[in-house]
């Protein structure tokens, strides 16, 4: 079975509780636009649109996509950054009944080639002028010899109808006809997993549950049509769609669409009067920026996500009068948040409680099915109204990733902490062999297998090394044949394999032999401790020199 359904009894329960609706995402947007036509829907660095304008442009784009011969159900790879037309393309594709597949702009042939073939992508959406790589040329190379890919779509040159064909009434009629044929429990979007084996897995997200996920997120923070939600990290990513695009639009709020560049995004926040901002780990030092004060003058909520929040960061934000909370979420579903009403201690030290009243969370013994006691550390497992029941076309992986009764094994270590009579979830680490580089999860095994394709690498172990800005970077311990392998040689190797640059090792350590534990497993704890000590020593030396 390529697509694992939600159990029928669970679907009935979620609908009976009023969680899942009966409309598609495209229809939900149209309803919000009718209710708030003149309000700002998106204010970006490259333009702005009201809800009426966004609704019209996405209707017309849907008509243009249909005129190209794209048909409902066709998968469309999205490989774009934070631009106004990226939001238009997202909804236009959904209104045409097509299925976005949310790859990253940083992905390359190693990732995109496998993902696009596995899903049978029919179109590849990219943007021109991206820094470092020509995505348009890349997409055209990917299309060569591809069994299903027929169209390369480019932001700035999307197929909007012109002349007599640009009829708003006709476009609306087409969209309504397409949407009427889509079941709200059909797959709307495929997100990508952080993955622990190979290229990221595809996460099917259904119309009803995905819109609910976002709407409940907005409701939990108390958002209204007057809320102005600033988002600086990638939007074509689960957090971007749930916490920014769908979340803001579910209540008629404005998405203030920035980029990771604080120099351009903080002034945008200031001029647009942002009231809410999500800061990923890569922006944990944003408060040190000279424009931060002006950017947060109207902000009432700062949400921190991506890694453990340093106490100094939390205290510093609150000292500025900025109410701060935490978010822990995943493309597979579960969101944990410390929303309004959460005690300060819990907001500062935990990731809170599940988003939905029907979320089910268990802390189990790793690789087991026995719940641990509160305060003890175990594997965070979950099941609920917006958590997947299986990855797409991955039966063997699904057998390992879910308990027999359908709980998703997140691979994260967690514990339940009691604060003021309530239990909150604290993330304590992970079982999964991942490096969290500024919020992007890098599969250590994937990097190891790629390194082993180098003719001089005999054995390898990849571990996370601490980094003050990104949290973690990738360090590779290698045993080589012949001369030592330099970092430039490793970069050349990964470039030749067309691997996303954020996955490239950023430090190489040579060993005569990879250390192993008493049971014969690679001793990654020892290696991680070794590189952490080396980095600490190097920092101390630099400080001493200065």
Q: What integer pLDDT is reported at residue 431 of this predicted model?
A: 81
* DSSP code, position 73: T
What contacts 134, CB < 8 A, 6 or more positions away? 128
The domains found in the chain, sorted by start residue, are 355-388+396-432 (2.30.38.10), 434-545 (3.30.300.30)
**Considering the entire predicted model, what is its pTM?**
0.88
Averaged pLDDT for residues 283-309: 94
pLDDT at 281: 83
Q: Provide the pLDDT for residue 192.
A: 95
**Angle CA 12–339–87, to nearest 5:** 70
Mean pLDDT, residues 206-231 taken together: 98
pLDDT at 544: 67
C-alpha pair distances (Å), 71 with each of 63, 65, 103, 169: 11, 8, 21, 20
- Alpha carbon distances (Å) from 420 to 339, 343, 404, 417, 423: 16, 8, 34, 10, 8
pLDDT on residue 16: 97
Give the pLDDT band of residue 468 (cuts 50, 70, 90).
confident
> For 226-353, where are the alpha helices, taking DSSP H only?
238-240, 247-250, 262-272, 292-295, 311-319, 344-349
Q: H or E segment at 480?
A: strand 471-480
Running DSSP on this structure, what letter comes out for residue 372?
P
Tracing tokens 């014969």 back to the chain, one arrives at 520
Q: What is the pLDDT of residues 348-399, one digit of tens each?
A: 999 999 999 999 999 999 888 999 999 999 999 999 999 999 999 999 999 9
Average pLDDT of the residues in 9-30 = 98
d(CA 399, CA 396): 5
What is d(CA 426, CA 404) in angstroms, rounded to the nearest whole number?
25
Helix (H, G, I), strand (E, B) or coil at 334: coil
pLDDT in tens, 113-163: 999 999 999 999 999 999 889 999 999 999 999 999 999 999 999 999 999
pLDDT for residue 519: 56
Token look-up 């993955």 returns 195
Distances (CA, A) of 318 to 266, 323, 344, 348: 19, 6, 10, 10
Q: How far apart are CA 402 and CA 98, in angstroms?
A: 29
DSSP type of residue 502: G
Q: If you count them, how many residues does the chain have? A: 546
Q: What is the DSSP string of 171-219?
A: HHHHHHHHHHTS-TTSEEEEEE---SSSSPPEEEEEHHHHHHHHHHHHH
- pLDDT at residue 303 in the model: 98
Distance, CA of 442 to CA of 436 (rounded, Å): 6
Instruction: Reply yes or no on whether the pLDDT at 411 is more than 60.
Output: yes
**At 464, phi and psi to the nearest 5?**
-85, 140
Q: What is the pLDDT of residues 473-530, one digit of tens each?
A: 999 999 999 999 999 999 999 999 999 999 999 999 999 999 987 656 788 989 999 9
HSE-up (13 A, CA, CB side) for residue 27: 19
**pLDDT score for 86:** 98
The whole-number average pLDDT for the span 267-286 is 94
**Nearest CA-CA partner of 447 in 516, 531, 508:** 508
The yes-or-no verdict on residue 298 having pLDDT over 80 is: yes
Confidence at residue 255, expressed as pLDDT on a 0 to 100 scale: 98
- Per-residue confidence at 308, pLDDT binned at 50, 70, 90? confident
Average pLDDT, stretch 165-186? Answer: 97
The values of phi and psi at residue 541, to 5°, are: -65, -45
Cβ neighbours around 320 below 10 Å, total: 14
Which residues are bridge partners to 306 per DSSP? none
What's the whole-number average pLDDT of the chain?
Answer: 94
State the pLDDT confidence band at 197, using cuts at 50, 70 and 90: low
* Alpha carbons 408 and 334: distance in angstroms, whole number: 9
User: 196 falls in which pLDDT band (50, 70, 90)?
Assistant: low
d(CA 457, CA 481): 6
User: Please, where are the H alpha helices in 296-452?
Assistant: 311-319, 344-349, 395-401, 444-451
Q: Which among 107, 91, 101 has a CA at the least distance from the CA of 125? A: 101
Residues 6+ apart with CB under 8 A from 199: 110, 111, 114, 115, 446
Indicate if the pLDDT at residue 195 is higher than 60. no
């Amino acid at each position: 079975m390529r697509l694992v359904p939600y159990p029928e009894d669970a679907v009935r329960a979620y609908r009976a509780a009023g969680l899942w609706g009966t409309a598609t995402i495209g229809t939900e947007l149209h309803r919000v636009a009718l209710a708030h036509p003149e309000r700002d829907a998106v204010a970006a660095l490259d333009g702005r649109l009201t809800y009426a304008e966004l609704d019209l442009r996405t209707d017309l784009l849907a008509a243009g996509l249909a005129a190209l011969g794209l048909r409902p159900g066709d998968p469309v790879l999205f490989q774009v950054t934070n631009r106004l037309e990226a939001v238009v393309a997202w909804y236009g594709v959904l209104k045409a009944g097509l299925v976005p597949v949310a790859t990253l702009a940083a992905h390359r042939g190693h990732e995109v080639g496998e993902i696009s073939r596995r899903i049978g992508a029919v179109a590849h959406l990219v943007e021109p002028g991206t820094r470092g790589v020509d995505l348009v040329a890349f997409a055209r190379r990917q299309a060569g010899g591809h069994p299903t890919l027929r169209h390369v779509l480019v932001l700035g040159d999307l197929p909007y109808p012109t002349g007599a064909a640009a009829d708003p009434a006709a476009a609306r009629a087409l969209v309504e006809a397409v949407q009427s044929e889509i079941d709200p429990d059909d797959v709307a979007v495929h997100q990508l997993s952080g993955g622990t084996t190979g290229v990221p897995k595809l996460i099917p997200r259904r119309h009803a549950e995905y819109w609910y996920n976002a709407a409940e997120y907005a409701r939990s923070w108390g958002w209204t049509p007057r809320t102005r939600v600033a988002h600086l990290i990638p939007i074509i990513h689960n957090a971007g769609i749930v916490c920014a695009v769908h979340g803001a639009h579910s209540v008629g709020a404005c998405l203030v669409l920035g980029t990771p560049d604080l120099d351009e995004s903080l002034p945008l926040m200031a001029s647009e009067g942002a009231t809410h901002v999500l800061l990923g780990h890569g922006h944990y030092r944003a408060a040190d920026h000279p424009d931060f004060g002006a950017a947060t003058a109207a902000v009432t909520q700062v949400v921190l996500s991506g890694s453990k929040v340093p106490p100094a960061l939390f205290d510093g934000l609150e000292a500025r009068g900025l109410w701060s909370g935490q978010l822990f979420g995943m493309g597979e579903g579960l969101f944990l948040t410390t929303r309004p009403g959460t005690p300060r201690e819990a907001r500062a030290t935990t990731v809170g409680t599940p988003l939905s009243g029907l979320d089910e969370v268990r802390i189990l013994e790793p690789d087991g099915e026995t719940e641990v006691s509160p305060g003890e550390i175990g594997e965070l497992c979950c099941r609920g109204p917006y958590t997947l029941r299986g990855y797409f076309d991955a039966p063997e992986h699904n057998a390992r990733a879910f308990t027999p009764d359908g709980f998703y094994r997140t691979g994260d270590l967690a514990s339940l902490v009691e604060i003021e009579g309530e239990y909150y979830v604290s993330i304590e680490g992970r079982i999964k062999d991942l490096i969290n580089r500024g919020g992007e999860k890098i599969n250590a095994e994937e990097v190891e297998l790629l390194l082993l394709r180098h003719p001089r690498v005999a054995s390898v172990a990849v571990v996370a090394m601490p980094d003050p800005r990104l949290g973690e970077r990738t360090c590779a311990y290698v045993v080589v044949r012949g001369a030592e392998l330099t970092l430039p040689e490793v970069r050349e190797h990964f470039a030749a394999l067309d691997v996303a640059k954020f996955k490239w090792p950023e430090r190489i350590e040579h060993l005569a032999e990879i250390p192993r534990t008493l049971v014969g497993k690679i001793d990654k704890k020892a290696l991680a401790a070794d590189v952490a000590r080396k980095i600490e020593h190097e920092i101390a030396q630099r400080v001493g020199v200065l």
